[in-house]
A and B are shown apart, each in its own frame.
Chain A
Amino acid sequence: MSGYGTAVVGVGQTEYSKDSGRSELQLASEAIRNALRDAGLGPADVDGLVTMSVDTNDELFLIRSVGIPSLRWSSRIPFGGGGSAGTVQHAVAAIESGLADTVVVYRAFNERSGRRFGQPGGRVVPPEWNWYLPYGLDTPAKIYSLWFQRYMTHYGVTNEDFGRYSVVARRHAATNPDAWFYQRPITLADHQASRWIVEPILRLLDMCQESDGGVAMVLTSAARARDLPHPPAYVAATALGQVMDGDTLFQYHLPDTTRFPQAEYVAEQLWKRTGLSPADIDTATLYDAQSPSVFFQLEAFGFCGPGEARDYIADGHIELGGSCPVNTHGGLLGEAYIHGINSMVEGVRQIRGTSHNQVAGARHVLCSSGKTAVVFAAG
């Protein structure tokens, strides 16, 4: 289709595990090699690299390992997992400005067998944490829960409501052979029997996994994409949304803590640029580090109104066969936690028609990590 400037032409991954048994650099190298082979391209075609600021893989070690002879674009996006979908924005910026022809987006880590993000300590904390860390806010689950709890009390949402998302994610993962929780669905009773992580907000089965693995995507111009083997997943729009009172983790100083203004800002940009509305989105991946994140994004993107995500989920809209299936790969809860980049790979597969949980005729896919997002479109 005319009008699109950039497309994803290759996706690659390693297996998703709890102990990869190899270095993060090897995981990144394998994922990139696999993505290039999928694209029908070689390392010499790559002239740009984009990853997340928290990735440990040095660009120069990586091009030496993958065999990329030279590089003329590299960038990294901050904001933790919230920036993961924004990697595509960086790639688009490079390609459409002519500063690179073919850009690889990658993320690889041993997040279970190496440093575990969910555990206290082990991280270099910025000075701003002085306002929070001494009081015990030492894990992402606790930090986010202090924000989620206000939403729960305001709308009367319970942990059981959150559990209905977890059940859907695990049901989708159960039929995705790539997922760690393949063939292992859960019931709401299982969810309610799992232990509290942060009482009374999050139980174990509200939490994303800890995973080892690597993921990569290859992006190039729409013109070049048409000559490559797979149907291109065109980038219809990308957006970043940050606001002054927001925070990557500590969303406590927002004027209205029951909302997610960054995602609302992202949505406003995406709908304006694409002319699409939530009703036009055939399937979505929404960043689910914890199940409540999905509630905030459903409301921010306008799939339902404020406080309505509980009913929207309970009514089956986000399940396969529903009006907008969400996280058809199982999400970060069910497939793996490769920091959100794996969810974009699922978005590309839906456009190609090759998802293990294919939404028939999917033409527009939203991939959101909350503070950044992309809409992929079929040609």
Chain B
Amino acid sequence: MAASVVPPSPVRDDAFFWEGVTRSQLLLRRCAQCERLHHPPSPMCPHCGSVEWRTEAASGEGTVHSWIVSAHPTEPDDSPRIVVLVDLAEGVRFVANLAGIAPADVTVGLAVRVTFETVGGVLLPQFRPVEVAE
């Protein structure tokens, strides 16, 4: 896999997410006051000013909104890494990688589902085409 995966450096406002990843959960934040989802999260709800949040596990289902093949600009890559922008079923977008498919076969609207895999030594959410995942 890619030679150098940069691990996240969790901070106060996103530590909940990375803790969820260790339990194979894709956690989203929902405002405890006005009930709206907010991703990427910010410390305050932009709709109502609340700083109280509930976290909830996303279904992990979604469709491909956009994608690229990520290659290092100067050093050889072990294998191409597809970066995908996913429209989650919950109505927010999420960036991760897409595995289990050749770049030429990726299409906008492709149904994908989240998995949690160790990539370059880092545990990350990854998406796979629904058919392959099942």
Contact = CB atoms under 8 A, between A and B. Distances in A.
Contact of B6 (A118, A119, A134, A142): A134
B10 A130 contact: yes
Contact of B67 (A138, A146, A196): A146
B85 interface: yes
A153 B65 CA distance: 10
Interface in B92-117: 92-93, 95-97, 103, 108
Contact of B11 (A130, A134, A145, A253): A130
A146 to B, nearest CB: 5
Interface in B1-33: 2, 4-11, 13-14, 18
A133 B122 CA distance: 12
Nearest to B72: A120
Nearest to B46: A244
Interface stretch (A89-97, A197-205, A316-324): A197-205
A149 B46 CA distance: 29
Contacts, number: 94
Given A118-B73, A136-B2, A199-B103, A142 B68 contact: yes
A134 B7 contact: yes
Contact of A130 (B5, B8, B73): B8
Nearest to A196: B71
B66 A130 contact: no
A153 B109 CA distance: 11
Nearest to A198: B68
B6 A138 contact: yes
A127 interface: yes
B10 A137 contact: no
Given A134-B5, A134-B124, A253 B93 contact: yes
A146 B83 contact: yes
B108 A131 contact: no
Interface residues of B, number: 37
B69 interface: yes
Q: Is the interface of B mostly helix, strand, loop or mixed?
A: loop
Contacts of A132: 95
Nearest to A116: B73
Contacts of B85: 146, 150, 252
A133 B68 contact: no
Nearest to A133: B6
A177 B74 CA distance: 30
B119 to A, nearest CB: 8
Contact of B95 (A141, A153, A244, A252): A252
A135 B68 contact: no
B8 A146 contact: no
B70 interface: yes
Interface in A108-138: 118-120, 127-128, 130-138
Q: In the complex, which of the residues B6, B8, B9, B10 has the most CB atoms of chain A within 10 Å of its own CB atom?
A: B6
A312 interface: no
Given A134-B7, A252-B85, A253-B93, A150 B71 contact: no
Interface string A245-279: 00000101100010000000000000000000000
A150 B108 CA distance: 8
B40 interface: yes
B31 to A, nearest CB: 15
Contacts of A199: 68-69, 71, 103
Contact of A137 (B7, B73, B95): B95
B66 to A, nearest CB: 4
A358 interface: no
Contacts of B10: 130
A139 interface: yes
B66 A146 contact: yes
A138 B6 CA distance: 9
Interface of A: 118-120, 127-128, 130-139, 141-142, 145-147, 149-150, 153, 196-201, 244, 250, 252-253, 257
Q: Pick the 8 closest A-B CB pairs, nearest first.
A: A136-B70, A150-B66, A130-B8, A127-B11, A149-B66, A199-B69, A145-B68, A153-B108
Given A150-B65, A198-B70, 9 more contacts: A119-B74, A120-B72, A130-B9, A138-B6, A149-B67, A150-B85, A199-B68, A201-B68, A252-B65
21 contacts: A127-B11, A130-B8, A130-B18, A131-B14, A131-B40, A134-B6, A134-B124, A135-B70, A136-B70, A137-B70, A137-B83, A137-B95, A146-B85, A146-B95, A149-B68, A199-B103, A201-B68, A252-B93, A253-B40, A253-B92, A253-B93
